[in-house]
Structure 1
Amino acid sequence: MRVYQDKKNVQKKSTHSDRFFVTPTVPRNSVYDDSTFSNDYLSISKHIEIKEAFIEIDHLVLWINPEDNLSAIKFAKEILAYDFLMELSAIDYLADKNGFEVFYEMLSTSKRKRLRFKMFINKGESVNSVNELFRMADWSEREMFDMFGIKAVNHPYMKRILMPNDWQGHPLLKTYPLQGDEAASWYEVDKIFGREARDIIGPEERDDAKIDRYDSTRFSRLGHEVPFGAPLDKASEIKSDIKYQEDGGVTIVGGLKLVQPFDEIETKNLKERK
């Protein structure tokens, strides 16, 4: 019988788990522990509904409603002097909550403080684009769409940015295999050579650690050089000397050697440790 694999999170790989291990949690402090954060929280709460607020690792974290993301970020930029949008992305909680956590990381250079807006959207819902406030959101929102499938409404060019436009699936979803699915393993072969060449070429190799010593096309062979693409096997290997440009020394103007030849360097054999 085939071993059962969890389809909800195929990216989770664990070779060992300690049944006594307790996952550590990051402490959350009150927003009133910091005077700057408390003032910012009180100011923004008068205009935006705050569902939850706390300080976590020197960040003011504010949970807001999804429809308020544009107005909240605009208020933080224009009124609270958070002049940089450092990052925006999402976290996949489809298996547990059937939705995503979307966050916006902001920085105030004048206050030297960081603010993070968080909101939860259900599967299939969209968010308002903040590209009109911060130009960095252009690529970040496209990346969020590309990796998670979350669309940003009113974005000027809501297309994929990392993967090809005809790519199937969204790679940062937990249901997406780490090594890619079947469509991914044949994508470039089908595009370049056509589906009829699958049996000849084979699927793409996606193991970053794989080395084929007899592949003279994609791997260098120091000490066993052969022409590019030459057929090779263990019986036909020929050893070749490795030469360095410093052999014999490097001569500059006037015959002065910049690098002393290896055979002229005197060596010392130590009989005792100092």
Structure 2
Amino acid sequence: MRPYTPKDNVQAKAYYTDRFWVAPRIAEEPVPKEGIYAEDLDALSAKCKVLKAYIQRGQLVIHIDPKDNITALKTLKEERWYEMLSEMSAVDFLAERGGFEVFYQILNLNTAQRIRIKCFVDENEAIESVNPLYRSADWAEREMWDLMGVKVNNHPYLKRLIMPDDWEGHPLRKTYPLEGDEFAQWYEVDKIFGKEARDIIGPENRDPARIDRYDTERFARLGHEVPRGTPPEELKKLEEEGVVTPVRYQEEEGVFLVKDLNEEPKVLDKRK
């Protein structure tokens, strides 16, 4: 866990320039000898080996062996009333440790206490699905496999969740190219037109920071159609002459698509 840092003016400053940079950790405090967290830790220690336990930002964090994830979560759910899995995912530590840190964030609905269970899995190691214990783990485990490549055993439907089924690689790994690899750059061209059309169409533009308002190759113009590939100089001239609708923002003059309607709004007496 990391302390929150205000992200003011994020457009002007890039806070993270190193893809493999690890944020400094918050201080780890010892677990109290009395109280709910002490009882939770004792109950868990009786069922499986606890590698490390501490308090961080007021909540209990427990490190366990990945083979004990079912035992640990089942114990905390059935014996200590942690009945909600509010979040789970993985953190990429491939460059440093050759694997992923999988975490489970669980909530005790009776006491509003939270525990974070962590375990480390190697790149080619699989972890058991916790879907039988928490149904909220279904899509979370699919997303973890899809974007990170963490294998999950005995999941009822372990398919990609966000990327296409035939996608190659896992986009949220730190080693994944920021603008996509060759497969990503040619995916839609190959899928729709075939590889023979590569020379004609060219690779996909994967620079989301650049959008040219005068680009008539990839963007449509609202209010008036212009021929595909119209030179920027001609498009600017048409805009100045009023032939092409100039760029307008609703913050300046209201919602222009709505204000031009002539009909008065109608209020229904009752729902149909």
Give the structure-1-normalised TM-score.
0.77
Residue of structure 2 in register with 1:130 after alignment: 130
Larger Rg: 1
Residue of structure 2 in register with 1:70 after alignment: 70
Higher relative contact order (CA 8 A, sep 6+): 1
Letter in 2 for 1:58: G
CA contact (8 A) 1:151 1:158 kept: no
Distance in 2 of aligned mates of 1:106 and 1:118: 11
Where do residues 179-194 of structure 1 align in structure 2 (5 Å cutoff)?
Answer: 179-194=179-194
Distance in 2 of aligned mates of 1:59 and 1:123: 28
Residue of structure 2 in register with 1:9 after alignment: none
Residue of structure 2 in register with 1:204 after alignment: 204
Q: Percent identity?
A: 45
Distance in 1 of aligned mates of 2:189 and 2:46: 57
Where do residues 78-93 of structure 1 align in structure 2 (5 Å cutoff)?
Answer: 78-93=78-93
Letter in 2 for 1:196: E
Residue of structure 2 in register with 1:56 after alignment: 56
RMSD across aligned positions (CA):
2.8
Task: Quote how far apart the aligned CAs of 1:143 are.
Answer: 1.0
Residue of structure 1 in register with 2:11 after alignment: none
Letter in 2 for 1:197: A
Distance in 2 of aligned mates of 1:67 and 1:214: 56
- Match of 1:38, SS state, is helix
Residue of structure 1 in register with 2:228 after alignment: 230
CA contact (8 A) 2:147 2:172 kept: yes
Task: Quote how far apart the aligned CAs of 1:42 are.
Answer: 1.2
Give structure 2 stretches of 5+ with no counterpart: 1-15, 249-255, 266-272
CA contact (8 A) 2:84 2:108 kept: yes
Distance in 2 of aligned mates of 1:234 and 1:128: 56
CA contact (8 A) 2:185 2:203 kept: yes
Task: Quote how far apart the aligned CAs of 1:250 are.
Answer: 6.3
CA contact (8 A) 1:217 1:229 kept: no
Task: Quote how far apart the aligned CAs of 1:123 are.
Answer: 2.1
Where do residues 1-274 of structure 1 align in structure 2 (5 Å cutoff)?
Answer: 13-14=17-18, 24-32=24-32, 35-216=35-216, 218-221=218-221, 226-227=224-225, 229-237=227-235, 238-239=238-239, 240=242, 246=259
Distance in 2 of aligned mates of 1:36 and 1:228: 68
Distance in 2 of aligned mates of 1:251 and 1:97: 65
Distance in 2 of aligned mates of 1:228 and 1:117: 57
- Match of 1:103, SS state, is strand
Give structure 1 stretches of 5+ with no counterpart: 1-11, 254-274
CA contact (8 A) 1:67 1:128 kept: yes
Distance in 2 of aligned mates of 1:217 and 1:83: 53
Task: Answer with 146-155 or 209-218: which moved more.
Answer: 209-218
CA contact (8 A) 1:90 1:101 kept: yes
Distance in 2 of aligned mates of 1:142 and 1:252: 49
* CA spacing shift, 1:189–1:36, aligned 2, 3 Å: same
CA contact (8 A) 1:83 1:106 kept: yes
Distance in 2 of aligned mates of 1:73 and 1:14: 35
* CA spacing shift, 1:78–1:201, aligned 2, 3 Å: same
Task: Answer with 60-69 or 154-163: which moved more.
Answer: 154-163
How many residues in Structure 1 have an aligned counterpart in Structure 2? 234
Q: Deviations over 1:124-162 (max 9, x none)?
A: 110011111111111111111111221111111122111
CA contact (8 A) 2:43 2:75 kept: no
Q: Deviations over 1:68-126 (max 9, x none)?
A: 00111111111111111011111111221112111111011211111111111122110
* CA spacing shift, 1:172–1:252, aligned 2, 3 Å: closer
Residue of structure 2 in register with 1:4 after alignment: none
Letter in 1 for 2:79: I
- Match of 1:54, SS state, is strand
Task: Answer with 27-36 or 170-179: which moved more.
Answer: 27-36
